[in-house]
Structure 1
Amino acid sequence: MRLISRTASAAPARRTRLASVGLTALTTLSALLGGCSQMPSLGSLPTVAGDKVLGLVRPYRVEVVQGNVLTTELVARIKPGMHRNQVRDLLGSPMLTDVFHAERWDYVFTIRRQGAEPQRRQVIAWFDGDQLKSLETPADLPSEKEFIAGINTFKPKGDAPKLELSEAERKALPPPAKPEAAVAEPVGPVRGYPPLESNT
């Protein structure tokens, strides 16, 4: 009899604890669902291209650089009449060549960098046999300084560091020390001889 009465009195306490746990779980779930109603719906999510995901997080984008970096200084060195090998030495190997259009080389450059505008440029070299006939360049081909400024996402405070000496600063530098003449090392095996006997 005592055993039955103990279990009968423990059952209401267990029910009360289960009810309070269930009420806590229900309250937490309703708070979470209420918070979700403040987030944008999946249909109105912004694209990930440059925008923040869900308006909260900006995803990391891998820097993608493809092709040959061509600048106005580099293209100015290319002259009509140059051989294919000379053009390849100056501009690098073309990104696109075609067996059916052997007279055309395409130099395409693309870059996507986080924090900078994506860039795409195309330079076309036309050949007559093995000689360069003409070079088609886009109007927005940058100089070296413009290109570096266009991809530089690090904005230092203050003036940019000085990269070159002026002519007066070069003249003020001490002349370089002349290297000492190197002692000629013997070539081949080195032999050691015993000292000569002295006649004393």
Structure 2
Amino acid sequence: MPKRVIRTIVPLALVMVLGAAVSACVYRIDVQQGNEITADMISKLNPGMTRRQVVKILGYPLVSDPFNRNRWDYFYSYKSGKTREMTRRSAKLLFEGDYLTSVESDIAPETE
């Protein structure tokens, strides 16, 4: 009788241990939020551009300040599922009327 119990318990315990080990290997997706902002996009922005031209390059801003219609804020974050590393970027654009006057960004524009 004890041999029969051991023959049943050992494989069952092995299956449980392997199941626990496999469940620890959870797949995590990459999480991308906001408007993607690249150095190439920032380098294409020039003072004097219209809002429509800016939208063609960067898209519509996610955050629209109700108290200052002449400020557009762009935010982007990327979190790698594999390494859990976080990348954050932001850009602040100021307009006078319909024309771009300044660009502040934590991304250095590409130089040619």
Higher relative contact order (CA 8 A, sep 6+): 2
What is the total number of aligned residue pairs between the two structures?
101
Offset from partner CA, 1:112-141 (integer Å, 9 cap, x none): 1222422111111111121111000105x5
Aligned equivalents of 2:69 and 2:28: distance in 1?
Answer: 37
User: What is the TM-score when the length of structure 2 is the normalising length?
Assistant: 0.69
Q: Counterpart of 1:62 in 2: which secondary structure? A: coil
In structure 2, relative to structure 1, the CA distance for the partners of 1:136 and 1:142 (3 Å cut) is closer
Q: Return the offset for 1:142.
A: 7.9
Structure ranking higher in strand proportion: 2
- Map 1:69-148 onto structure 2 (within 5 A): 69-116=36-83, 117-139=85-107, 141=108
2:31 touches 2:81 (CA, 8 Å); kept in 1?
no
CA RMSD, aligned part only?
A: 3.3
24, 27, 31: which one pairs with 1:64?
Answer: 31
User: What is the TM-score when the length of structure 1 is the normalising length?
Assistant: 0.41
Tell me which structure has the larger Cα radius of gyration. 1
2:48 touches 2:99 (CA, 8 Å); kept in 1?
yes
- Structure-1 residue corresponding to 2:18: none
Runs of 4+ in structure 1 deviating by more than 4 angstroms, as ranges, are none
Q: Counterpart of 2:44 in 1: which secondary structure? A: coil
Q: Counterpart of 1:76 in 2: which secondary structure? A: helix
Offset from partner CA, 1:125-174 (integer Å, 9 cap, x none): 111121111000105x586xxxxxxxxxxxxxxxxxxxxxxxxxxxxxxx
- Residue ranges of structure 1 left out of the alignment (5+ in a row): 1-19, 33-53, 144-200
- Residue ranges of structure 2 left out of the alignment (5+ in a row): 14-20
% identity of equivalent residues:
34
